Structure formats: C-alpha cells, structure tokens
Amino acid sequence: MVILRKILPLLGAVLWLGMLPLRAQDEETPEQKQYREDFELYQKIAAIPAASKRAEGWLQFLQDRPKSQIVAKVQYDYLLVVQDWFKQSKWEIVVPQMERFLKLRPKAGEGYYFLGAALKEQKKLPEAMNALAKCYVLRCPASQKARQFLEVIYKGANKGSTAGLDALIEKARKEVGG
C-alpha cells in the first residue's frame, strides 16, 4: 500500500507529461496550418492525370498562393509539365503557357528560356531573342545556355554580327531588373 502511494503520483506525472506532446500536436500554428493546407492542395493537383489540367492547377496555385512555402516545388513541377510539351514540339501550347506563367513569376528565368526557344521555333525571332536575353540576365540554371542560343539566333538574323547584342541584353535587364 505504501508503495502504491509513492508509485501512483509518479505514474500520474509520467502519464501527464507524456500527454503534453499530443496536446502540442493538436495546436497548429497558423503557419503550420497554412503549410498543411498548401501541401494537401499540392498533392491533389499532383494526382491529376491530365497534364493540361495539372498545369492549370499549378498556375492557379501560383496565383492564389504566391507566398506559399512550397511555391518553388509547384513552380518546378509546372515547368516539368511544360518541358514535356516542349520535348513534344507543342509550341502552340508552350508559348501561351509560358506567357501566363511569366505574368505570375516574372523572375523565373527558366520560363523565359522555354518561351524563347518555342518562339524561335515559331519563327518569331525578335520575341525569342528578347525572352532568351531575359533568361540570361536573371541568372538561373539555364542562363548560359540561353546566352549561347541567343548569340546563335542573333548572328543568324544579323549576317554573323553580334553588333547590338549588348544593347538587347541591357534592354532585357531593364525590363526584368536582373
């Protein structure tokens, strides 16, 4: 009996302390709640089988939740969908998708690369060069490739000369602030 009097309070304290982490889990911070909601929406969009509907979902996410903690992941997944269309030479899809995307994410250099390459395939060289110059000045993973591609197109359009290329790049820098 004496042992029970000593053990029961101790056992009660251990059980009470053990419940504290469970209570803390029930009380989400606003940031944790927002992250959970964003991630649940992300999973819902990722499960959409049709690429065009999935892309629409990503764009809507970027529009509705531009400050989300997972916006970089959403942007990456969106660009993967566009990359698939790009590989399939679906320029008529890539161009409007990139234009819409870049309105939401104007500092996403990779978007300008896809746009520039697709416009080049559509024989819209001035617009293609402008997009590639923007990609270059934004200093993204595709920047060097964009610069090389830009030089090839520019030389082709200007009889092998690069005179004026620096001015084009400077104009792009002013437009995007790179």
Q: What average pLDDT does this structure show over 106-122?
A: 97
Count CB-CB contacts under 10 A for residue 147: 17
pLDDT band at 4 (very low <50, low <70, confident <90, very high): very low
Percent of the chain at pLDDT exceeding 90: 83
Single pTM value for the model: 0.81
Sign of CA dihedral 145, 93, 86, 62: positive
Sign of CA dihedral 152, 156, 160, 166: negative
Under 8 Å CB-to-CB from 62, ≥6 apart: which residues? 71, 74, 75, 78, 101, 104, 105
Q: What average pLDDT does this structure show over 155-163?
A: 92
> Which tens digits make up the pLDDT trace of 127-139?
999 999 999 999 9
Whether the pLDDT of residue 1 is over 60: the answer is no
> Which tens digits make up the pLDDT trace of 86-108?
999 999 999 999 999 999 999 99
- CA 37 – CA 156 distance, rounded (Å): 50
- CA 108 – CA 121 distance, rounded (Å): 21
pLDDT band at 51 (very low <50, low <70, confident <90, very high): very high
